[in-house]
Amino acid sequence: MKSITRHTGTLELVERMKNSLNGNPQFMLALIEHSEQRLGWKFRTKANAMHAYKVEGFLGKKVTVTIGTYRGNATLNTIEEAF
């Protein structure tokens, strides 16, 4: 993964994508940094990554994520709840 950046905001679900070939969930997500202006980042979970199972528990909560570029797509690298 290249060009990893760190961001904090509210996690929102954009869409649930097709499962991977191994049957694991994949999601398109958005991180909203400023709620009034709806500024933020749109990214996806990597196929067969364990964070895809944790993501649904973080929806609507304030989180800190690292996002990188993987195969030309903005992709979730790490996620944790922000306090």
What CATH number corresponds to the domain at position 56?
2.40.50.140
DSSP class of residue 68 equals E
At 40 the pLDDT is: 84
CB-based burial of residue 22 (10 Å sphere; 0-12 exposed, 13-18 middle, 19+ buried)?
exposed
Phi-psi bin for 54: left (phi > 0), alpha (psi -120 to 50), beta? alpha
Can you give the residue range of the structural domain that contains 53?
A: 2-81
pTM of the model: 0.85
Rounded CA gap, 62 and 8, in Å?
7
Alpha helices (H) along the chain: 51-58
Overall domain count for the chain: 1
Q: What is the pLDDT of residues 7-57, one digit of tens each?
A: 999 999 999 999 888 888 999 999 998 766 667 889 999 988 888 888 989
